[in-house]
Amino acid sequence: MTVHTPKITGASGRPVIRQLDEAAINRIAAGEVVERPASAVKELVENALDAGAGRIQVDIADGGKTLIRVTDDGCGMTAEDLPLALSRHATSKIDGSDLLDIRSFGFRGEALPSLGAVGRLTITSRAEGEAAAQIACEGSRLSPVRPAALTRGTVVELRDLFFATPARLKFLRSDRAEMQAVTEVIRRLAMAEPQVGFTLRDVTGGDSRVLFRADPANGDLFDALGSRLATVIGRDFIDNALKIDAERDGLRLQGYAALPTYSRGSSAQQYLFVNGRPVLDRMLFGALRAAYFDVLSRDRHPAAVLNLIADPQRVDVNVHPAKAEVRFREPDAARSLIITALKSALAGAGHRASSTVGAATLDAFRPEPRIYQMDRPSQPALARAFAFQAPGFAEAPQAPAFAPPSEEKAQPHDEHPLGAARAQLHENYIVAQTATGIVIVDQHAAHERLVYERLKRQLAETGIRAQPLLIPEIVDLSPADASRLLDAAPALAEVGLVIEPFGGSAVAIRETPAVLGPVNGAALLRDILDELADQGDSQLVRAKIDAILSRMACHGSIRSGRQMRPEEMNALLREMEATPLSGQCNHGRPTYVELSLADIERLFGRR
């Protein structure tokens, strides 16, 4: 169906070019800058930050549809400044001589006139040493400046958003959804400016309810940021995050990135900033994903808060109306810094795993709370039970028939971070005793990571040595699978797996990686096919090689169900301690769980 757009025509029937009036121009500009209440809040709070505010309060009613009020203690404006602030393209942020030297949040001078075009806007402000003044703007019509009462800073009040463009109201979501969007904007700006205090209140119906509050954080950059992130994201994130501070090619990356075992089911905990500006840039998020490539499965997402600092001349922030996207002069340098800095930090974490793993384990141990009070033992009963277990109690049972381990066996590895192996359960889990508790290790997952890191190290240093097969293994595949494998043959040869066509859709395996020992060739090829299908044809060769190595490591690792001798278990623990990233398997799952003695005692009611 063709939609015919009506045109303004003259006497000759030709379309006539007309100059739009100022009100129409402002409403069009508002459509780009102010998409929803959250967009208005973002622009107003960024103005407050540019004004040097130390505390910012945001009041919202009905999801921002009927009221948005932003109060700050910044430098304020004079009575002469107010009419100019509501003129299009009037700004104090830049002088217009260099659009690449932008060091503030705002710079276009569009936000306030756009808001005044689609809502009822009132600005009350007071600059130091000046009297307070107020101006109002409704549908782009300015009222005269008049005196006002205000101690310091600026109060911007926007009522009835989109009253001048009622069609836009129909596209807004529910009050609850709009309020959530506003909250997310405030959270991101609060992370960008940890030294500034933020308060968000819902004042719908005359009531006042605080939705978000973050007091100004003190200390150096990382202390202040860590304190702010604990407030905004949660203490668990900071407890399981690594400090990132790396510099390369004139770019600097700072912030926190979480351990792989603290991964999330979505990208909701990924916050990226460029020179302190929150951005939603696909290239940067892709670099973050690439940094965690071989420590997370595809359905898990890393958590991180990172700020990329660059000379403003090397970053163009003027490519998106809402300034949510940026363009780098050297995008490869920015991407490389993120990947190398995060990979280095993750490798430096060694065998460390998320503390939330142990907490989840304890929660799994705890029984459901009982309903009846009579089911709980009384305090005297508990005291008698504990006394019964104490040494020397008259009613104590006889010592067990088995002998305790000798001093020589009990001592050797207890002081190591992962302790000394004491048992193997279900032929898959190693139980080790540490100086402060116990560690439970998934032997297959742990060894899979160790083999993978060994393969990567060997490939980087000398190349992976191939072991020729006395009799080539022939594997029958579908024509499509055979073609995909043979296309990847050069990459496979780099990792010690040599294949060649063997007539029809069959493939012959001539050599396998020596480090893997005997392998099931058919199973290995099918796993590699799965990996190639997941990676897609657009992936770099290096990424494909790492993915193939990860699959190979699975085949070369200790299988579940294999019994291990004590010396083998301890050797595995020692290698884990010496191997980067050994706290998680190739898919981001933890390789071990650590429980402190205090945690264990709490399980038994001793604390």
- Looking at the DSSP assignment, which residues form a beta bridge with residue 590? 584
Supply the DSSP symbol for 15.
B
3-state secondary structure of 301: strand
Q: Which two tokens stand for residue 516?
A: 């893997």
H or E, element range at 84: helix 81-85
d(CA 42, CA 185): 6
Model confidence pLDDT, tens digit, residues 518-573: 778 888 888 788 767 755 543 444 565 677 777 777 766 666 678 899 999 999 99
**Residue 266, pLDDT score:** 87
Q: HSE (CB half, 13 Å, CA atoms) of 196? A: 26
From residue 71, alpha-carbon distances to 57, 118, 119, 455 in Å are 5, 20, 18, 58
Q: HSE (CB half, 13 Å, CA atoms) of 387? A: 9
Q: Which two tokens stand for residue 432?
A: 């080790």
d(CA 135, CA 137): 7
d(CA 289, CA 188): 20
Residue with tokens 């303004």: 8
Cβ within 8 Å of residue 561, ≥6 positions away: 427, 428
**Residue 545, pLDDT score:** 65
**Residue 398, pLDDT score:** 40
CATH architecture of the domain formed by 350-365+409-607: 2-Layer Sandwich (3.30)
Q: Which two tokens stand for residue 227?
A: 């304190």
**Residue 397, pLDDT score:** 39
Helices 111-118 and 37-50 meet at what angle, rounded to 10? 140
Stretches where the chain sits below pLDDT 70 are 1-14, 16-33, 89-109, 318-324, 354-414, 515, 531, 534-545, 555-560, 607
**Residue 501, pLDDT score:** 94
d(CA 175, CA 181): 10
* CB atoms closer than 10 angstroms to residue 223: 12
**Residue 297, pLDDT score:** 76
**Residue 56, pLDDT score:** 97
105: nearest Cα among 25, 184, 41: 41
525: nearest Cα among 558, 491, 492: 492
Beta strands in 477-578 (DSSP E): 498-501, 506-513
The alpha carbons of the chain give a radius of gyration, in whole angstroms, of 32
**Residue 192, pLDDT score:** 94
d(CA 44, CA 106): 10
Name the fold adopted by 221-348. Ribosomal Protein S5; domain 2 (3.30.230)
Q: Domain extents for the chain? A: 22-212, 221-348, 350-365+409-607
Q: Which two tokens stand for residue 87?
A: 């003129």
Name the fold adopted by 22-212. Heat Shock Protein 90 (3.30.565)
Q: Which two tokens stand for residue 532?
A: 């190639």
From residue 80, alpha-carbon distances to 147, 158, 397 in Å are 12, 21, 91
User: Is 299 buried (19+), middle (13-18) or exposed (0-12) by CB count in 10 A?
Assistant: exposed
